[in-house]
A = this chain, B = another copy of it.
Amino acid sequence: MRLVVVGGVAGGMSAAARARRLDEHAEIIVLERGEHPSFANCGLPYYVGGEIRQESKLLVQTPESLRAALDLDVRVRHDVTAVDPHARTLTATTPDGEITLGYDALVLAPGAAAVVPPIPGLADSLASGVVKTLRTVGDAIAMRAALPQARRAVVLGAGFIGLEAAEALRLQGLEVDVVELAEHVLPPLEREMASLVTDELVRLGISVHDGVAATALEDAAGEAAVEVVLDDGARLPADLVVLSVGVRPDTAPFEAAGVECERGAIVVDSRGRTNVPGIWAVGDATVSEDAVTGARRPVALAGPANRGGRLVADDILAPERARPMPRPVGTAIVRVGELTAAMTGANRAALESAGIAFETLHLHPGSHAGYFPGAEQIHLLVHLGTGGEHEGRLLGAQAVGADGVDKRIDVLATAIRHEAMAADLMDLDLAYAPPYGSAKDPVNLAGMMADNLAEGSLAVWQARDLDAVRGASLILDVRSPGEFASGHIPGALNVPHTQLRERMSEVRAAAAGRPVRVHCASGMRSYLAHRLLVAEGFDSANLSGGILTLEAWLGREAAEVLVTPEAAVPEAVR
């Protein structure tokens, strides 16, 4: 039995290592195109930024250590160029010329390569080394080596790796511009979450250019190596440009061999089998079906790749007891400065594109009990289904904050994996002591809000509906007068929630038959007000996430839309 694995690192090395544990006598050969069969690819930005100091930390295993521990035959700088599935052979270019190798089972784990968009000047700058990617240990070493000569960097693409790279370069003292074609940084995040990340980037001293395209890389007028030209007219001088606009599956030789692909990504069944007998595939180069929406797409995440490698080895060597490959939930996380931003499950765009009806609930609880020092606010949202088979289901969640974000997203990811109803989140027995959480954990609170929504005691309106709401409804702001004065929605009536019972007639007069759309800072006090308004017969709804979410949704526009302190306070008392 000879098993050949194409591609090391996450999925490939996991498959090879698991195969050895299942079969001591199999011949297991791993062909890796690069220099390193097993490296910490997610650590590369932190090596550039200097938090990981030694290059050796990035090298998880070497061919020698893999030979010693697992009797694996790992061959680096072996680039597979062709497969003959009928003869069960493959061809690879190697430092010693081309070789042909037979296999009984073949695992394709080629990963994905950086997308190089057709921007004039980009290819040349890539060749000259001014533009760099960050996919391999070699890339990271080259980028770190370029730092002493660089003063300004432009990062093209504000996805997870782009932001990690931007922060790393800033940490090394460079002036950094980030350019993102999409409306906001971290495009998979919702707008009201991403704007918190943008604020943090700005605080770190990074310039954010979102919703703009880079149209050319041109010779710089001054000392810089190049200028990145944007379609809003800006010209960003740079000594170093990081290209991080996305990845594409690296599958050309396999597609040519008859392996079925979908937009370049290998199609596999729930056991990792391709359409070609004897060939399996795993990792970034494969198409997966999303656990929530069922949509098919490549998922370039280390976790599913690592775990998928194991399942593929099981199916090859012990198919009778192999588990099916789980559909990815798509959990992702990134540290940006002092913040953590994370998401799991489907986002608004994915739900809309899948035609799934949903509602979004926002909350801003503390990371632990408010009476214990050090609690940080978590900005959390959950999407839940509002119709059909998805009615009440937890579909996705996102969070941003300085503490406790990873924990809540992991709990929510676990709930989504188990197809939980959103209201079921209130029943979770999460660990509570003052340094860790609250008796009603943020996740429990989200469940209670979902339960309120399901049983009808809560109705919400969303920040994105502000314009429509302003025209048709009375906006009732139940915060304190001091909070109201610090910034409020124009035309809003201010009645603190503790005075609402006594001042209901004021509300009735101001509403003049219109619906009442109530809010406070976060949505808690206004929920009490909402219950009272409903009891008084009003058509009422509560702003999801309150003015905190509204401000985050508006982002830079908040200063124009809201009545801010300067406008609110008479000049004489300023």
Binding site for B on A (CB under 8 A): 10, 20-25, 40, 42-43, 46, 51-52, 57-58, 60, 68-71, 160, 164, 291, 301-307, 310, 318, 321, 323, 326, 328-335, 340, 342, 344, 369, 371-373, 406-407, 409-411, 413-415, 417-418, 420, 423-424, 426-437, 439-441, 444, 448, 451, 455, 457, 497-498, 501, 525, 527-528, 531-532, 535-536
Q: What distance in Å separates the Cβ of A483 from its nearest Cβ neighbour in chain B?
A: 15
Contacts A21-B527, A51-B373 given; indicate if A417 touches B439 (C-beta within 8 A): no
Tell whether, in the assembled complex, residue B413 and residue A410 are in contact, meaning their CB atoms are under 8 Å apart. Answer: no
**Within 8 Å CB of A406, what residues of B?**
407, 431, 436-437
Q: What distance in Å separates the Cβ of A272 from its nearest Cβ neighbour in chain B?
A: 14
**Within 8 Å CB of A431, what residues of B?**
331-333, 342, 344, 406, 409-410, 413
Tell whether, in the assembled complex, residue B10 and residue A439 are in contact, meaning their CB atoms are under 8 Å apart. Answer: yes
Other-chain residue from B42, B58, B304, B432 in contact with A333 (beta carbon distance below 8 A): B432
Q: What distance in Å separates the Cβ of A17 from its nearest Cβ neighbour in chain B?
A: 9
Tell whether, in the assembled complex, residue A372 and residue B43 are in contact, meaning their CB atoms are under 8 Å apart. Answer: yes
Tell whether, in the assembled complex, residue B318 and residue A455 are in contact, meaning their CB atoms are under 8 Å apart. Answer: yes
Tell whether, in the assembled complex, residue B410 and residue A430 are in contact, meaning their CB atoms are under 8 Å apart. Answer: yes
**Within 8 Å CB of A321, what residues of B?**
455
| C-alpha gap A25/B415 in the complex (Å) | 37
Contacts A24-B532, A303-B432 given; indicate if A43 touches B369 (C-beta within 8 A): yes
| C-alpha gap A497/B42 in the complex (Å) | 28
Tell whether, in the assembled complex, residue B528 and residue A21 are in contact, meaning their CB atoms are under 8 Å apart. Answer: yes
**Within 8 Å CB of A536, what residues of B?**
24
A60, closest chain B residue (CB): B371
Tell whether, in the assembled complex, residue B46 and residue A334 are in contact, meaning their CB atoms are under 8 Å apart. Answer: no
Tell whether, in the assembled complex, residue B323 and residue A451 are in contact, meaning their CB atoms are under 8 Å apart. Answer: yes
Known: A42-B369, A69-B498. 12 other contacts (CB 8 A): A23-B535, A40-B369, A40-B434, A52-B372, A52-B373, A302-B432, A331-B431, A333-B431, A344-B431, A406-B436, A410-B431, A414-B430
Contacts A69-B498, A369-B43 given; indicate if A413 touches B436 (C-beta within 8 A): no
Other-chain residue from B40, B69, B318, B323 in contact with A497 (beta carbon distance below 8 A): B69
Copies of this chain, tallied across the complex: 2
Contacts A323-B423, A406-B407, A535-B25 given; indicate if A430 touches B40 (C-beta within 8 A): no
Other-chain residue from B43, B304, B420 in contact with A429 (beta carbon distance below 8 A): B304
**Within 8 Å CB of A58, what residues of B?**
371
| C-alpha gap A441/B413 in the complex (Å) | 13
Tell whether, in the assembled complex, residue B302 and residue A439 are in contact, meaning their CB atoms are under 8 Å apart. Answer: yes
A164, closest chain B residue (CB): B433
Q: What distance in Å separates the Cβ of A434 from its nearest Cβ neighbour in chain B?
A: 5
| C-alpha gap A547/B417 in the complex (Å) | 34
Contacts A51-B372, A57-B371 given; indicate if A440 touches B42 (C-beta within 8 A): no
Tell whether, in the assembled complex, residue A427 and residue B417 are in contact, meaning their CB atoms are under 8 Å apart. Answer: yes
Q: What distance in Å separates the Cβ of A245 from its nearest Cβ neighbour in chain B?
A: 19
Tell whether, in the assembled complex, residue A414 and residue B433 are in contact, meaning their CB atoms are under 8 Å apart. Answer: no
Q: What distance in Å separates the Cβ of A63 from its nearest Cβ neighbour in chain B?
A: 14
Contacts A40-B434, A434-B43 given; indicate if A21 touches B531 (C-beta within 8 A): yes
Contacts A43-B371, A371-B43 given; indicate if A428 touches B440 (C-beta within 8 A): no
**Within 8 Å CB of A528, what residues of B?**
21, 69-70
Q: Which 4 pairs show the lowest CB-CB distances between chains A and B?
A: A24-B535, A333-B431, A418-B418, A68-B498
**Within 8 Å CB of A423, what residues of B?**
323
Tell whether, in the assembled complex, residue B418 and residue A330 are in contact, meaning their CB atoms are under 8 Å apart. Answer: no
Q: What distance in Å separates the Cβ of A75 from its nearest Cβ neighbour in chain B?
A: 20
Tell whether, in the assembled complex, residue B434 and residue A413 are in contact, meaning their CB atoms are under 8 Å apart. Answer: no
A527, closest chain B residue (CB): B21
Contacts A323-B451, A372-B52, A428-B413 given; indicate if A46 touches B434 (C-beta within 8 A): yes
| C-alpha gap A450/B222 in the complex (Å) | 62
Q: What distance in Å separates the Cβ of A546 from its nearest Cβ neighbour in chain B?
A: 16
**Within 8 Å CB of A164, what residues of B?**
433
**Within 8 Å CB of A24, what residues of B?**
531-532, 535-536
**Within 8 Å CB of A417, what residues of B?**
424, 427-429
A324, closest chain B residue (CB): B427
Q: What distance in Å separates the Cβ of A185 from its nearest Cβ neighbour in chain B?
A: 16
Q: What distance in Å separates the Cβ of A534 from its nearest Cβ neighbour in chain B?
A: 8
Contacts A57-B371, A58-B371, A498-B69 given; indicate if A306 touches B440 (C-beta within 8 A): yes
Task: Jot down 20 A-B pairs with beta carbons below 8 A, ordered by A.
Answer: A21-B528, A21-B531, A25-B535, A43-B369, A52-B372, A71-B501, A291-B429, A301-B432, A303-B432, A305-B439, A306-B439, A307-B427, A340-B436, A410-B428, A411-B414, A414-B415, A414-B430, A415-B418, A418-B418, A418-B420
